[in-house]
Amino acid sequence: MKKIIYISLVLIVTSISCTDLNEDVLDSISSNNYPETPEQIAVQHLESYNALSSLWDDGGYWFLAQEVSSDEMVAPTRGPHWFDGGKWLQLQYHNWNDQSDPPVGMWRDIFRGIVTSNKINDKLKAGGGLAQSKISEVEAIRSFYYYIFMDNFGDVPYLDKYIGAPEKPFRNNRTEIFDSLTTTLERGLKNLPSISNPAYKNYASKEMAQALLVKLYLNGKVYAETDDQIFYEKAIQYCDSLIANVNLFLEPDPLDAFKVDNTNSSEVIFAVPFDEVNKEGFRLHMRSLHYNHNETFDMAAGPWNGFCVIPDHFDTYQSIDKRKSGYFLWGPQFTYSGSPLMVDGKQLDIDYKIPYPNMPVDGPLSIDFITNCGARIQKFEIYKDAKENLTVNFPVFRLSDIYLMKAEAELRSSGLTPATLTLVNQIRSRASIAEWNLGEVTLDSIYAERGRELYAEGHRRNDMIRFGKFDQPFWGKGDETDPNDPGQNAIENIFPIPLNARTTNPNLDLEPKPIN
């Protein structure tokens, strides 16, 4: 008889959440014989993608946790607004705990994707060779879930099946999970479809798997706890495959990959689709834009006046950098028709120099300053009549990231080549800033360029850990000028397994066991 499994692992929040989890994940396939036909196989695997969309907002929290815990984005308390139980300040100050909303949401929803993928794969494997390409596709998207799972939580339970899996699994060592993920992805490459069909940019393609392998191998020192040169060689190998791909090349403008029709972007490798009506879940514009910015974009919804760019990061852009004016809004503001944007009888003027994350109403700052400070984020197209959710697909992997990762891998191994410098300079030239010469390219300069190019794309926390920056003081964390900084108490580099999960499954508190 089929066992109901994983409940102890994902039982994290309220009983209502658990009921939803049972309905969404454990009861999604009603027949032991399904799928039976090629037509059923062609669509059954799509359910494995469902958990992705929740990870970009404050349901699954993954995207917000990567950005607000980093040195590039802040979700400030603006007087009486945006305290939200302290969850954003916990991320900013690295003061989270095992009951904080972000790790609780990430653990639940990432594992929901894994559970669903395993359940579907069990069914597909029962169908024999007919389903092999779909099996590899589901394994690739499950590998993405596991990549972000172990990246955020370290040692986690690694399960590759649904039927017969333990009810209370032990954690497994991240090194072994890393080895299993790379092996699984490399084994499945030959079976995956290509983005030569652009529709597959929203699915687990061969190119998506190659990009994920680059990420895994480039972070191999972190995950495997050894600085093996083979990791960098492998990363370069998969970068080369993607760079040579005739379906991929840089867009002429740095903002082209973030527009409404970006599924067709020539530099997007893998994107999570969002739609303002049918696939909700991406609301960064609402979280960031000033209350009155609906007049700037002629939006159909009023923004919430919250998130902004950290000023130290803002200062890394040259004034001539097209990404600076393209990604951010600051200074005097205007309406959609070009008139001054008036608020309380004067033109809205945004000072990018937000002083610190927690700006209480009873502090020394005026309420006008608290409300208006901080350059706002407009990187993802905010189109006319935009609603609360954007119809802009989120590019998880894109070609400029591959260029920069290849340069980093070369610097960490044999040294940067002139050919790779040419690739990196294409990114800088596109942004209208001076090209580098070979001597100007160091790990520090690559790190800074990654921050400028990939702002608000979910990579920064991962980059900071790999470069040894995440547990160091930076603006909003360990800042001696911030009178409200409580001091960090979190275990650096990973989030804690939620208390409710550990209470339900005591095995999660024990030492990791080998993967069976």
Model pLDDT for residues 400-428, shown as the tens digit of each residue:
999 999 999 999 999 999 999 999 999 99
Which residues does 409 contact at the CB level (< 8 Å), separation at least 6? 217, 218, 232, 235, 236, 239
| Average of per-residue pLDDT across 383-399 | 98
Q: For a pLDDT cut of 90, what percent of the chain falls above it?
A: 84
Which amino acid belongs to residue 470? F
Decide whether 7-192+491-509 matches 196-273+393-477 in CATH topology: yes
Q: Is 404 within 8 Å of 453 (Cβ atoms)?
A: yes
Confidence band for 491, pLDDT divided at 50, 70 and 90: confident
Residues in a beta bridge with 271: 395
At residue 37, the pLDDT reads 59
Helix (H) or strand (E) holding 445: helix 443-453
* Alpha-carbon dihedral 372, 375, 380, 382, rounded to 10 degrees: 30
pLDDT tens for residues 234-243?
Answer: 999 999 999 9
- The residue ranges of DSSP E strands in 194-276, in sequence order, are 268-272
Burial class (CB in 10 A: 0-12, 13-18, 19+), 397: buried
Average pLDDT, the chain: 91
At residue 150, the pLDDT reads 98
Q: Is 305 within 8 Å of 356 (Cβ atoms)?
A: no
- Cα–Cα distance measured from residue 355 to residue 387, given in angstroms and rounded to the nearest whole number: 30
Q: Which of 56, 58, 68, 10 is nearest to 148 (CA)?
A: 56
pLDDT tens for residues 205-244?
Answer: 999 999 999 999 999 999 999 999 999 999 999 999 999 9
pLDDT at residue 2 greater than cutoff 50:
no
pLDDT tens for residues 258-305?
Answer: 999 898 899 999 999 999 999 999 999 999 999 999 999 999 999 999
Which amino acid belongs to residue 405? M
pLDDT at residue 21 greater than cutoff 90:
no
At residue 33, the pLDDT reads 46
- Cα–Cα distance measured from residue 312 to residue 73, given in angstroms and rounded to the nearest whole number: 10
pLDDT at residue 481 greater than cutoff 90:
no
The mean-pLDDT minimum among 97-101, 283-287, 398-402, 485-489 falls in 485-489
| Average of per-residue pLDDT across 246-258 | 97
pLDDT at residue 91 greater than cutoff 90:
yes
List the structure tokens of 37: 């036909």
CA 479 from centroid of its chain's CA atoms: 26
pLDDT at residue 188 greater than cutoff 50:
yes
Which residues does 60 contact at the CB level (< 8 Å), separation at least 6? 51, 54, 105, 106, 108, 109, 110
Q: Is 328 within 8 Å of 254 (Cβ atoms)?
A: no
At residue 480, the pLDDT reads 76
Q: Three-state DSSP class for 395?
A: strand
List the structure tokens of 444: 């520090």
Burial class (CB in 10 A: 0-12, 13-18, 19+), 424: buried
Query: Cα-atom radius of gyration of the chain, to the nearest Å?
Result: 23
- Cα–Cα distance measured from residue 154 to residue 493, given in angstroms and rounded to the nearest whole number: 9
At residue 129, the pLDDT reads 66
Q: Is 218 within 8 Å of 231 (Cβ atoms)?
A: yes
- Cα–Cα distance measured from residue 75 to residue 87, given in angstroms and rounded to the nearest whole number: 10
Helix (H) or strand (E) holding 329: strand 328-329
Higher pLDDT, 166 or 17: 166
- Cα–Cα distance measured from residue 372 to residue 304, given in angstroms and rounded to the nearest whole number: 12
CATH fold for domain 196-273+393-477 = 1.25.40
pLDDT tens for residues 65-81?
Answer: 999 999 999 999 999 99
pLDDT tens for residues 446-460?
Answer: 999 999 999 999 999
Sign of CA dihedral 280, 281, 284, 288: positive
List the structure tokens of 388: 């609360």
pLDDT at residue 254 greater than cutoff 90:
yes
3-state secondary structure 149-183: HHHHHCCECCCCCCCCCCCCCCCECHHHHHHHHHH
List the structure tokens of 336: 């959609």
Confidence band for 41, pLDDT divided at 50, 70 and 90: low
Confidence band for 44, pLDDT divided at 50, 70 and 90: confident
Residues in a beta bridge with 376: 329
Boundaries of every domain in the chain: 7-192+491-509, 196-273+393-477, 284-385
pLDDT at residue 434 greater than cutoff 70:
yes
| Average of per-residue pLDDT across 316-342 | 98
Confidence band for 516, pLDDT divided at 50, 70 and 90: confident
Confidence band for 25, pLDDT divided at 50, 70 and 90: very low
Q: Vertex 66, ends 449 and 195: CA angle to 5°?
A: 70
pLDDT at residue 28 greater than cutoff 80:
no
At residue 474, the pLDDT reads 93
CB neighbourhood size of 215 (10 A): 22
Whether domain 7-192+491-509 has CATH 3.40.50.300: the reply is no
